[in-house]
Chains A and B, each alone.
Chain A
Amino acid sequence: MKKRYIILTAYLVLIMLPIYWMLNMSLRTNADIMARLVFIPTEITFDNYITIFTDSAWYSGYINSIIYVVLNTIICLVTALPAAYAFSRYSFIGDKHVFFWLLTNRMAPAAVFLLPFFQLYSTFNLIDTHIAVALAHCLFNLPLTVWILEGFISGVPREIDETAFIDGYKFPRFFFFVFIPLIRSGIGVAAFFCFMFSWVELLFARTLTTTAAKPIAATMTRTVSSSGLDWGLLAAAGFLTIVPGALVIWFVRNYLAKGFALGRV
């Protein structure tokens, strides 16, 4: 019993080290970083964070990222819920083929679609808008959402639907007030995955934006190349990208374990 916690602690310490090192550097000045290697910083400065929070070129990156991630999550959940319900409850012409086709999009290399995406979204005048990135991320997030939700919905016995209809529920009322509360943990897990994959994706987000909707990840790469290497600032910006994800996972932590187990293959 004791041994397993030693292993777990060792693993946790090891995975925290790179993150801690970034936090460490973000609290020091560039001159201090280059001059010496210290495990616990002695001269702590918040200048790097102040720069990010006061310079709109920096903080707008975070706002842009959050906007398109939230948009993407909403689009995915709203459209995937009925679809997952249909895949779970009805059999219709071509259902298996459509389901498989959806999943293949999860496997499409993003690099394959870069140029066509740029042309397509230019044609619709969507370049440099948040909705463009949100839609592009649907390519891999929607199939995943449908897949996860379908597993959860199939875990709810069909008798519940039938009983509700016999009791005189109309479909929309049944769906919103009876069914959705039943699968709320599934919705939590699906939302977490949408958030996660949209937040971490860079290739589409960078290709489809120039200035107005530029994500923080792209801001970071460009600043690095233009102003030399300001390690402290870079580390601070990197550390801030972890915060939203950490918050989200704290809220869904109880659903996560239960959630995965129900998802089907």
Chain B
Amino acid sequence: MKKWQDNKGWLFILPVFIIVAFSAIIPLMTVVNYSIQDIFGPGQRIFVGTEWFKETLTDPRLHEALWRQLLFSGLVLLIEMPLGIAIALTMPTKKGLGSSVCLVLIALPLLIPWNVIGTIWIIFTRPDIGLMGAFINNMGITFDHTASGLHAWITLMLMEVWHWTPLVILLAYAGLRSIPEAYYQAARIDGASAWAIFKYIQLPKMRGVLTIALLLRFMDSFLIYAEPFVLTGGGPGNATTFLSIYLVKIAVGQFDLGPAGAFSLIYFLIVLLFCYLFYQVLLNVGKGESS
């Protein structure tokens, strides 16, 4: 669609620009300030240049947290995207009470405050009072996410899949609903199998919403903080210390503002880089298919 060439567009976006700039640019500049100074107290600060960046980039604990984070986000995407699409395919297609109730039930986990999510899973997985914890322990397996790193990971992944797969389902379902009935009729006449329908009609039609789902899921899983903080507090040991948890540990726990600032900027850049890459790849995949 051709757009009107008109700089009065700026007037329309000015309120948004001011509000976001207030909350984004001023704090970002403060972080930049931290990252290049050594702060001892109010009014006592020395310019240190890129020292904090060097220190942060060579910090082995940061590297570990980064790998952990990448593994976590990768697993999240690998499990949630196929599962979300699969469940969306099983949803009723007709409008009515059935699909309404399904939608509301599926979306429920999305609307629970993040630390309450952690609380729910603490309750659910405790060996003494939790349904899942008691069930697994009754089968003769000692399951305790506060003692074993592997168990903490399993619990976290279950929680994450439980919490966020609904978003993928909702988006995929929306994509499916936008496919005209005529497409299916044509496929039926051609005698296409369910797999062929999925591959040649449903998947391409869902590409747009799935891109949104992938980007949102990547961002939010990469920035995860509240749920593992409540559930495991980053432990046992450092087994579930993801980037955000490590950052808050440095910034608030140890009050090392300089390294925390440098860490923040690097963290932000990593997220930006990944999102840009994903976006470009998905854009190009789309071009290849439509031509």
Residues in chain A within 8 A of chain B (CB atoms): 4-5, 7-8, 11-12, 14-19, 21-22, 25, 33-34, 37, 39, 75, 78-80, 82-83, 85-93, 95, 98, 102, 104-117, 119-120, 135-136, 138-139, 142-143, 146, 154, 158, 196, 199-203, 215-217, 220-221, 224, 231, 234-235, 238, 241-242, 244-246, 248-250, 253-254, 256-261, 263-265
Contacts and interface: CB of A to CB of B under 8 A. Distances in A.
Contacts of B212: 260, 263, 265
Nearest to A259: B174
A253 B12 CA distance: 30
A12 B106 CA distance: 7
Given A107-B219, A245-B111, A138 B15 contact: no
Given A221-B230, A250-B104, A80 B16 contact: yes
A8 B20 contact: no
Contact of A98 (B13, B24, B124, B178): B13
Given A109-B243, A120-B26, A201-B113, 10 more contacts: A86-B11, A86-B12, A91-B4, A115-B260, A199-B113, A242-B108, A242-B111, A256-B107, A256-B174, A264-B208
Interface residues of B, number: 94
B27 A120 contact: yes
B228 to A, nearest CB: 12
B247 A261 contact: no
B268 A109 contact: yes
A82 B104 contact: no
Contacts of A107: 219, 223, 268, 271-272, 275
A111 B225 contact: yes
Contacts, number: 286
B6 interface: yes
Given A18-B120, A109-B264, A158-B1, A202 B114 contact: yes
Nearest to B103: A253
A256 B268 CA distance: 31
Interface string B105-148: 11111111111100111011000111110100000000000000
A90 B5 contact: yes
Interface stretch (B58-66, B84-92, B184-192): B84-92
B109 A90 contact: no
A249 B111 contact: yes
B196 interface: no
